[in-house]
């Protein structure tokens, strides 16, 4: 059977880093082809190529057996490829019908006909949603139905679902799988990306595994059991990046979090950090790791739970308070939250603690320069001039500026969220040794990372989150990516069985 869409030998690099190397993937009519892989394996990049958002550096895209060159998302849609994105792309203030037919509204709109057509499309999916309803008033599940109806209205022959159930309740997720089965019966080709392996086993006809931007294999669910699939996703040797972990003595408890709950659904998170410890916080993106970090840092509100800092009750209301209490956060989005790109390196480095370099609110230029010079030498930041904007630095050196900022601020509870994302290998190793050094200096360090190898290489123990809950803790003897994924991805019952 000719595939509806086939990607062959796709290469794609960003700034010299290979996101995809020779990846092939196809979808046949009337099948659900699932794609799995760790964060950063290249799934989203591949889908963006299929959806015409990215142009591949090499390789070919075939639609209906014919090589094409997709010029953009509109072109892909016209050729029958629709992507249901994780963040939905609906206009929240328009009606259901308007959203469904957005982009192909006739010049003279016959509302009656449009509404009827919208209703029919939605009915085809087994739902009853008023076409006149405003989209922002709908539940997330119903919004997703509108998205799918929109794809159908464009006569999509291939629909890509990117983590569709991540935002849905259990019941809604089941109904979505029903919709997908219905589409399959109609001969639509489905690409299904998900981290939830139980869903994939329930619905997929074929499963493709992607790792580090390469095809691992394409299998059928009945031929490969779950644990083998997970091994295919992760099986990579621990690299020797991490250096020798210095022997540090673990001291008194600095931070204790009990039953932390946040407005966004994170709940029941309890753990503690002691001096001299490097603790990992693992789990998939979206499992609530970053949210926990931001809450402890006072950047987001806390709904309930208690935090004890150096034996005293602590309830941060702002990052300012957190910094005063000696907590530091290296945020995951370096450019958006870690540095002020247009501002000089020197000014970024002293921002969190201007006291020592100012008098009566005015900077003493000489003192500031000598302090920053010290930090630059200490952290081996490679730069032209400390007066240059941070944007002139490489990713790794930008991150070192963020670390310098917190070294200078001098907190003893340090939270690092994806500290080596977008950082080259050399700088990675240096950042790891800085993390070890913090611990050796008696700080308590919490490292959030999606790179499991990094967690195991760096940390004394690893806390694992999944779907807003702390699912468990791994100690070095149990360090394996399979264990970590098993804890993070499987639902509560299995987890209790394992524990």
Partner 1 sequence: MTDNAAGYGQSVTREAAPRRFQFGKLFRQFGTFAIFLILLGLASLQSDAFLTERNIMNILRQHAGTGIMAVGMLYVILTRGIDLSVGSISALGAVVTAVLVQDYPLPVALLMVVGIGAACGAVSGFLVAFLRLPAFVVTLAMMTAARGMALILSNGQPIMLGEPGAALSVFGTAFPLGVPAPALLMFGVFALAFIVLNFSRFGRLVKAIGSNEEAVRLSGISVGWYVMAVYVISGALAAIAGIVVTSRSGVGSASVGDGAELDVIAAVVIGGASLMGGRGGVLNTFLGVLILGIIGNIMNLAGVPGYHQQVYLGVIIVVAVVLQHASHILRRR
Query: Which residues on neighbouring strands pair with residue 90, listed in sequence order?
Result: none
Give the shortest CB-443-to-partner 1 separation in angstroms. Answer: 17
By beta-carbon proximity to partner 1, the closer residue of 286 and 331 is 331
Min separation Cβ 103 and partner 1, Å: 25
Pairing mode, strands 206-211 and 214-219: antiparallel
The dihedral sign for the CA sequence 309, 315, 321, 323: positive
Using the rule CB under 8 A, give the single segment among 88-96, 272-280, 334-342, 464-472 that binds partner 1.
Answer: 334-342
223 is an interface residue for partner 1 by CB under 8 A: no
- Total of chain residues touching partner 1, rule CB under 8 A: 49
**Kind plus residue range of the DSSP H or E element containing 278:** strand 278-282
Determine which residue in the list 95, 165, 194, 215 makes contact with partner 1, applying CB under 8 A: 215
In this structure, how many other beta carbons lie within 10 angstroms of the beta carbon of residue 468?
Answer: 20
The distance of closest approach from Cβ of residue 354 to partner 1 in the complex, given in angstroms and rounded to an integer, is 5
Q: Is 384 one of the binding residues for partner 1 (CB under 8 A)?
A: no
Buried b (16+ CB within 10 A) or exposed e, 112-142: eebbebbbebbeebebebebeeebeebeebb
151 binds partner 1 (CB under 8 A): no
Task: Please give the structure tokens belonging to residue 1.
Answer: 């059977």
Using the contact rule CB under 8 A, the part of the chain among 115-123, 160-168, 244-252, 318-326 near partner 1 is 318-326
Task: Determine, following the binding rule CB under 8 A, whether residue 337 of this chain makes contact with partner 1.
Answer: yes
User: Residues 342, 385, 493, 497: which binds partner 1 (CB under 8 A)?
Assistant: 342
Q: Does 45 bind partner 1 (CB under 8 A)?
A: no
Q: Is the dihedral of CA 96, 99, 105, 108 positive or negative?
A: positive
**Tokens found for residue 170:** 């259990």
Told to check if 55 binds partner 1 by CB under 8 A, we report yes
CB of 356 to partner 1, least distance (A): 12
Query: Distance of alpha carbon 68 from its chain centroid, rounded?
Result: 31
Q: Does 400 bind partner 1 (CB under 8 A)?
A: no
d(CA 412, CA 63): 56
Q: Which among 370, 367, 343, 366 has a CA at the least distance from the CA of 355?
A: 367
The helix/strand/coil state of 414 is strand
The distance of closest approach from Cβ of residue 352 to partner 1 in the complex, given in angstroms and rounded to an integer, is: 4
**Residue 18 or 85: which CB sits closer to partner 1?**
18
Q: Near partner 1 by CB under 8 A, which window of 191-199, 257-265, 357-365, 466-474? A: 357-365
Nearest CB to partner 1, comparing residues 347 and 452: 347
* Locus of tokens 């779907």: 467
Q: DSSP string covering 361-402, please?
A: TEE-HHHHHHHHHHHHHHHT---S-TTSBGGGS-HHHHHHHH
What is the rounded CA–CA span in Å between residue 77 and residue 115? 22
Give the three-class secondary structure for 484: helix
Q: Which position among 336, 366, 384, 477 is part of the footprint of partner 1 (CB under 8 A)?
A: 336
Looking at 354, 433, 480, 483, which residue binds partner 1 (CB under 8 A)?
354
Q: Contact with partner 1 (CB under 8 A): which of 343, 370, 373, 498?
A: 343
Per rule CB under 8 A, is residue 362 in the interface with partner 1?
Answer: yes
The answer to the question of residue 208 lying near partner 1 (CB under 8 A) is no
Q: Under the phi-then-psi rule, with left for phi > 0, alpha for psi from -120 to 50, and beta for the rest, what region is 220?
A: beta
**Which of 2, 69, 111, 236 touches partner 1 by CB under 8 A?**
69
Name which of 24 and 480 has its Cβ closer to partner 1.
24
Parallel, antiparallel, or unpaired: how do β-strands 413-417 and 444-448 relate?
parallel
Applying CB under 8 A, does 13 fall inside the site for partner 1?
yes
Instruction: For residue 319, state whether it binds partner 1 (rule: CB under 8 A).
Output: yes
List of residues contacting partner 1 (CB under 8 A): 9, 11, 13-16, 18, 21-24, 55-60, 69, 214-215, 297, 299, 318-320, 322-324, 329, 331, 336-343, 347, 351-352, 354, 358, 361-363, 365, 405, 409
């Amino acid at each position: 059977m000719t595939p509806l869409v086939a990607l062959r030998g796709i290469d794609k690099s960003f700034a010299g880093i290979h996101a995809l190397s020779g990846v092939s993937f196809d979808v046949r009519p009337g099948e659900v082809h699932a794609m799995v892989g760790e964060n950063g394996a290249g799934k989203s990049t591949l889908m963006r190529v299929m959806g015409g958002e990215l142009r591949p550096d090499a390789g070919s895209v075939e639609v209906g057996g014919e090589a094409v060159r997709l010029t953009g998302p509109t072109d892909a849609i016209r050729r029958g490829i629709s992507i249901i994105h994780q963040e939905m792309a609906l206009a929240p203030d328009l009606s259901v019908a308007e959203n469904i037919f957005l982009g192909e509204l006739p010049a003279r709109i016959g509302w009656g006909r449009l509404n009827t057509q919208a209703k029919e499309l939605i009915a085809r999916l087994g739902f009853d949603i008023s076409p006149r309803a405003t989209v922002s008033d709908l539940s997330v599940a119903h919004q997703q139905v509108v998205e799918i109806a929109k794809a159908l209205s464009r006569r999509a022959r291939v629909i890509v679902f990117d983590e569709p159930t991540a935002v849905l309740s259990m019941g809604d997720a089941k109904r979505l799988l029903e919709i997908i089965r219905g589409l399959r019966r109609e001969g639509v080709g489905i690409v299904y990306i998900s981290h939830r392996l139980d869903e994939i086993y329930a619905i997929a006809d074929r499963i493709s595994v992607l790792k580090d931007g390469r095809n691992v294999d394409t299998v059928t669910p009945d031929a490969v059991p779950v644990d083998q699939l997970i091994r295919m996703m992760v099986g990579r040797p621990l690299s020797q990046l991490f250096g020798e972990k210095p022997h540090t003595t673990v001291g008194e408890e600095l931070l204790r979090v009990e039953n932390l709950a946040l407005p966004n659904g994170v709940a029941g998170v309890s753990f503690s950090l002691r001096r001299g410890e490097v603790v990992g916080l693992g789990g998939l993106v979206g499992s609530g790791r970053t949210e926990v970090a931001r809450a402890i840092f006072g950047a987001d509100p806390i709904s309930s739970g208690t935090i004890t800092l150096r034996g005293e009750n602590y309830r941060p209301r702002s990052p300012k308070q957190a910094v005063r209490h000696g907590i530091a956060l290296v945020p995951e989005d370096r450019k958006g939250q870690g540095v002020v790109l247009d501002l000089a390196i020197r000014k970024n480095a002293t921002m969190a603690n201007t006291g020592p370099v100012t008098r009566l609110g005015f900077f003493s230029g000489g003192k500031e320069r000598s302090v920053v010079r010290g930090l630059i030498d200490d952290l081996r930041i490679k730069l032209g001039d400390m007066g240059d904007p941070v944007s002139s630095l490489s990713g790794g050196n930008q991150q070192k500026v963020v670390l310098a900022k917190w070294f200078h601020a001098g907190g003893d509870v340090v939270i690092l969220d994806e500290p080596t994302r977008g950082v080259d290998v050399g700088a990675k190793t240096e950042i790891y040794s800085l993390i070890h050094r913090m611990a050796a200096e008696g700080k308590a360090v919490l490292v959030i990372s999606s790179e499991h190898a990094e967690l195991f290489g760096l940390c004394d123990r690893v806390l694992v989150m999944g779907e807003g809950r702390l699912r468990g803790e791994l100690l070095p003897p149990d360090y394996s990516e399979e264990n970590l994924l098993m804890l993070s991805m499987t639902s509560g019952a299995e987890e209790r069985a394992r524990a």
